[in-house]
Amino acid sequence: MISINYRDGRPIYEQVRDGFRQLIITGVLPAGSKMPSVREMASSLTINPNTIQRAYRELEAEGYIASVPGKGSFVADREEAVSARREELLTRFRSLLPELKQVGTEESTLVHLIKEEYDS
């Protein structure tokens, strides 16, 4: 399900968060399904439960999961999760544009990169 790469420069909680995010967006974890408990995940990955808890908190803040006190965490509606992720990525993209412009990146270069990605 989720694997940790200790050679990856990202913190472990980010790897866990990103792994679950990908499983949710692709539909591997359908809406309404119960997330593994923090204790289960920590045990299976042999990492600190606080690390899993942090990943879950971020996933909840981003709208990917919802916590129900006493019952656990559940996957949110996929469309809502995809929409939230799209908005987050577009915000990051918009924040890069002024700097790209400042360093002299041509509009045609950006358009070409976008078309190249969509054509592949």
pLDDT at residue 62 in the model? 86
User: Looking at the domain assignment, is residue 28 inside a domain?
Assistant: yes
Query: What type of residue sits at position 42?
Result: A
Q: Give me the domain span that covers residue 23.
A: 12-79
* Dihedral sign for Cα atoms in the order 38, 14, 48, 20: positive
pLDDT in tens, 8-28: 999 999 999 999 999 998 889
| Residue 65: inside a domain | yes
**Is the residue at 113 inside a domain?**
no
Q: What is the CATH number of the domain that holds 21?
A: 1.10.10.10
Q: Which residues contact 21 (CB under 8 A, 6 or more apart)?
A: 59, 62, 64, 81, 85
pTM of the complete model: 0.73
Q: Is 95 exposed, middle or buried (0-12, 13-18, 19+ CB in 10 A)?
A: exposed
Domain annotation covers residue 34: yes
Element (H, E) at 67: strand 65-68
Residue 47 within any structural domain of the chain = yes
- 61 belongs to a structural domain: yes
How many structural domains are present in the chain? 1
Q: Give CA 92 to chain center in angstroms.
A: 13
pLDDT at 80 over 80: no
Render pLDDT for 91-113 as a digit per residue (tens, 0 to 9). 999 999 999 999 999 999 999 99
Give 65 or 79, the one with higher predicted confidence: 65
Look at residue 117 and tell me if it is in a domain.
no
